[in-house]
A and B are shown apart, each in its own frame.
Chain A
Amino acid sequence: MHQSLFAVLLVLLFAVTAPAAALDSKGIYQLNQDRVVQVRVLNRETGKKSSIGSGFIVGDGRQLATNYHVISQIVLEPELFYISYISNDGTEGELTLEALDVAHDLALLGAEQALGDAIQMSPLPPRGAPIFAMGNPLDLGLSIAVGTNGGILNQTDDSRILFSGSLNPGMSGGPTFNEFGEAIGINVATARNDISFIVPSRFLTELIERSTTESYADNVDLKAEVARQVIAYENRYIEQLLAGDWQGLNLRQFQLPGVISPTVRCWDNSAKLNAVARYKRYQIRCANQNHVYLDSDNHFVGRLSYEYYWLESDELNPIQFYNLYESLNKDQIETKPGREIASNFNCETWFIEVSMQEMKSNLCRREYLDYPGMSDVLFTAALTGHADRGFFVTLIMTGVDFDSTLPLIQKFLEETEWTP
C-alpha cells in the first residue's frame, strides 16, 4: 500500500516538475488553431475586406494581438473602416483598438466577450531552435510555417528576430511559437527567400500591461498618438546615438563618424569608374535598418542614413572639377510622401567652418501634416575652396522631432576632422 502510494506521488511530482514535451508543427497547430484568427479591416459601406492579417488571443482572453500595419487604415480613416475577426470555426465579431505600439508594429484589439484561452508568452529560444509561425497566408486559411530562430537583430534596435522560414502576406500579426506552443513573437515582415522577421514577445507583454492602465477614448486622435509614439521612439534612439562612442572612419583627408551605433551598417558604395575617367571618387554609405511603419499608404519612417563622397583629380582643371563636383551634389530623401501626407521642404544655406575648412551646407525640413511634430530632415555639407578635391556629406533622418536632430548634426560636424 505504502509502495503504491509512493509510486503515485512520484508520478505526480514528475508531472509537475518535468518540462512539457516538445511538439511538432502538427501538435502546435492543433493546440492553437482555435486561438489564432484572421483579423480584417472592413469597409463600413461595402462590408468588404480592405486588408487582412492574423491575430491571436492574449491577455484576459478577450484581447487579440496583431500588427499595427494590419489595422492602420482605421488610424487614417476611422469613419470609413472597422476591425473584425473571423476564427477558424467561422465565428465572427467586431473588435476595438485598445493599444498601439507603432515603433514595434504592434496593436492590441479587444472583443466584447472572451474569445478563448490566451496564448502564453515565452522568451526567445536559443539561436537555431525550431520555431513555428501561424497565420492566414493570402486569405487561404490557417496554416503553419516551420523555420528556425536566427536570433535578435541588433541592427534593428533589438526589435526584430530573424526567422529562417517563410512568412507570406496575411500572416502578419500571427504568433510565432517555440516548440512548446508558447508565443515567442509576432510575425511582422518578410524579405522573401525564407528570410522573415518576428517582433519579440516582450514588446507585446509590455503593451498588454500598458493597456490595463491606459485606454483610448472613442474620440482619441489616433494620428497624434502615432506621432507621439514615433517621436518618443526616435528621441530615445537619437539619445542613444549621442551617448554612444562613435567609431571613426577615414576617407582620404577626412576623419569622419563611421559606425555610430550597432543599428548602423556602412558600405563602400564607390561606383566603378570608366578606365578613361580623369578623376577618382570614393563613396561610403551608412544606414540603419529601422523601418517604422507609419500608415497604410506604405510610408515608413525611422530612417537614419549618412553618405560621404570624396572626389579628387590631378587632371581636371578647376572649372571642370567643379562642374563634376556640382553635378554629384544632389542627394535627396528616398521616401516621397504625397502632398496629402507632407508639407514642402524648406531649405536654408549656411557656410560653416568645420575643422578649419569651409563647407557649403544646406538644412532642409518638411513636416508630416497629420502627424504633429514629426519631420523629415536632410542635411548636406560640401567642402569648398579646393581646386582639385571635393567632399560632401548627406545626412538624412525621417519621422523625427526636428529639434532633437540638431545635436546629432552638431556632433557629426564636430567629429569631422580634416587632415592637411
Chain B
Amino acid sequence: MRRTQDTLAAVGATLGLFVLWELAVRLFKIPPFVLPAPSQALEALRPVWGAVLGHAWQTLWTTLVGFALAVGAGVLLGAAVGTSRPLNLALYPLLVGFNSVPKAALVPVLVLWFGIGTVPAILTAFLISFFPIVVNVATGLASVPPELREVLKVLGSSRFEAFTRVSVPFSLPYFFASLKVAITLAFVGTVISEIAASQKGIGYMMTSASSQFNVPLVFGGLLVIAAMGIALYGVFALLERRLVGWAYRS
C-alpha cells in the first residue's frame, strides 16, 4: 500500500514535469530548434528506433564496465584508506587532487593513448565514478564504533572475524549510498567521452544530431540517458533495501 503510493508519487511528479514542459513550449511557441517539446523529442526517436537502441546498448554496457571497474578499485582503495591511518594520510590528498581534475579535460588525453572509441569512454566512466565509492567505503570503515569491535576483541576473535562481522556490515550502507551516486556519474563519464570522441553511443548520436540541427533528437538522446540512469539507480536502490534495509528502518 505504502509502496504503491510512493511509486504513484514518483510517476506523477515525472509526468507533471513533462506536461509542464509540453505546455510551456506550446504556450510560448518556442521553436523546436531551441527547445523541443517532450512529444517532439520522443517523436524524433521513433523513425530511428533501431539505431537508437544500438547506441543505447553501447552506452549502457560501456557505463556498466566502467562502473564495475570503479566498484572494484573503489572498494579496494577505500578499504585501504579506511583501515590504515598512514595510507589515509598519504593517499587522501592525491585522491582529492585527482578528483578535482575535470574529467572532460582528460578525454583528449585518453583518446591520444587509446584511440577513438569504447576504451576512453569506459575509462572516463571509471574515473568519474570511482571517487565517491572510495570516499564512502573509507568513511564507513573509519566510522565503525570502537566499542563494537571491542565486543569481538574481548572474546578473542581474530582481526579478520572482527572485520567481516563488524566493519563490513557496518559500512555496507555507506557503500550502497555511493553506488547510487556512482552509477549516475558513470553515465555522465561515458556520454562526455562519446560526445568528444566516438562513433557509437548516445553521446555520439547527440553530437551528430546536433551537427544536423536535429535538436529534437538531441533531446531524445537526453531522455534515453535519463531513463537508463533512473533504471540503474532503481536497481541499486532495490538491492540496498534488500541488503541493508536495517539501516533505513521506517
Same complex? no
